[in-house]
Amino acid sequence: MKKIIALVLAVVMMAALVAGCGGGSKKTLTMATNAEFPPYEYHEGDKIVGIDAEVAALIAQELGMELEIVDTDFDSIIPGVSGGKFDMGMAGMTVTEDRLKSINFTDSYATGVQVVIVKEGSPITTVDDLFANGANNTVGVQTATTGDIYASGDIEEKGYGTINRYPKGADAVAALMADKIDCVIIDNEPAKAFVAANTGLKILDTAYAEEDYAICYAKGNDELGKKINDALNKLIGEGKVKEIIDKYIKAE
């Protein structure tokens, strides 16, 4: 019996030693996203792919961690990250003064352009038409995105029209196709995909706004935030982030 007990103790001590020497599994880096924003994040079968997914995977690799991507509503990302549910958020997310009140951001890794989608033959022919005297358009946006933020301040609050908010950009486009709204404000890359998939839509020639995308992380989580930012800048310096972006967004 004593020999058995000694053997069991030896096994337990060995397991503890292995765990203490880093023999356990890698730590997980959880990334919150909204996989409705091609080519930055979207579903390919059961897998979430895209620019942000690939950049995040390389960051996790640099940190020696396993990446876990969690698909959630866009307006749940910042509360989830700030509350500690997720380590970081990547979803074609723009740094704004309002967001900086509750979350921190890394350096920028990509530039986005907000555009306006209309139906062919629409009386809205330029971005300026949205702010013309007497304008009263119904504008579709995805809830809590920068398109929502811009349109709320530029159009709704100034009396140039009303904003209809949708959980997904695709829902806003469907509403446009059904003549429930007059236009959609959204990022240029998913806009191109939506226009290609829906006959009778077009993107106005003039951009609505230009913005920089970054990774968000919780205030007070500065140690992890610095590691993520350092890894991101290393990847940018090596040209790997540009390679990923060029893979998904072809020069026109």
Terminal C-alpha separation, the chain: 77
Query: In degrees rounded to 5, what are phi and psi of residue 183?
Result: -165, 170
CA distance 241 to 239: 6
DSSP 243: H
Query: Residue 177 belongs to what H/E stretch?
Result: helix 169-177
110-164 residue pLDDT tens: 999 999 999 999 999 999 999 999 999 999 999 999 999 999 999 999 999 999 9
- Asked if residues 33 and 70 have their Cβ atoms less than 8 Å apart, the reply is yes
Mean pLDDT of the chain: 90
HSE-up (13 A, CA, CB side) for residue 177: 13
C-alpha distances in Å from residue 53, one per residue of 30, 33, 67:
11, 9, 9
The CATH class of 112-211 is alpha beta
**What averages of pLDDT result for each successive group of 10 residues across the chain (252 residues)?**
42 39 71 95 96 98 98 97 98 93 97 96 97 96 94 96 96 98 96 96 96 96 97 98 93 56
Evaluated on CA atoms 197, 202, 205, 206, the torsion sign reads negative
Long-range contacts for 165-172 (Cβ within 8 Å, ≥24 apart)?
165/140, 165/141, 166/140, 166/141, 166/142, 167/73, 167/142, 167/143, 168/36, 168/142, 169/36, 169/37, 169/142, 169/145, 169/194, 170/36, 170/194, 171/142, 172/140, 172/141, 172/142
Residues of the chain with CATH 3.40.190.10: 27-109+214-248, 112-211
- Asked if residues 205 and 116 have their Cβ atoms less than 8 Å apart, the reply is no
Residue written as token pair 């106005």: 204
The CATH class of 27-109+214-248 is alpha beta
DSSP 251: -
